[in-house]
Amino acid sequence: MLKVLCAASVGFSSAQWATAEPEIAGFAFVQPDSTLKISGSLIHLYGIYIPPTGQACYTFVRPVACGSRASLALDFKISGDFVHCLPRATNPDGSVTASCRSGNDDLSEWMLQRGWAVALPDAPFEYAAMERIAQAKRIGVWGLPVDVPAP
């Protein structure tokens, strides 16, 4: 009986992988709205909303990099790093919502921990906890006046 269950679970596992979307990986380019462009795919980070923040410029970078504070923080994080994304959904506009990693860091978690994003209502519980900790520390958007969408 055990052999039958193992064989069934192996068959089920391979069926899941056959229908899963392939990983999107490559060098990422942060767009002004904090989405990522990887190998021609436009990617929204899973489980978070990145509110618009004031325009800022990094003058110690040549050429000078300008954009929202959140997009600059994300760009600084992934600068020169290979990003791996696992698609979770395809949006009506053709963009993809994905869980992305840079090095050992989940980018959604990284943005939440530094206060540059808010957790969406359907995000994992941990995301809401990370958002509340950043809010208590008054870092990122919690230190700036911005509009946050109501849940």
In the predicted model, what is the mean pLDDT of the chain? 79
What distance in Å separates the CA atoms of residue 5 and residue 110, rounded to the nearest whole number?
39
Per residue in 110-151, pLDDT tens?
999 999 999 999 999 999 999 999 999 999 888 855 455 555
3-state secondary structure of 67: strand
**CATH assignment of 21-143?**
2.40.50.90
Strands annotated E in 18-140: 24-27, 29-30, 36-38, 41-45, 48-49, 55-58, 65-68, 82-90, 96-102, 105-106, 118-119
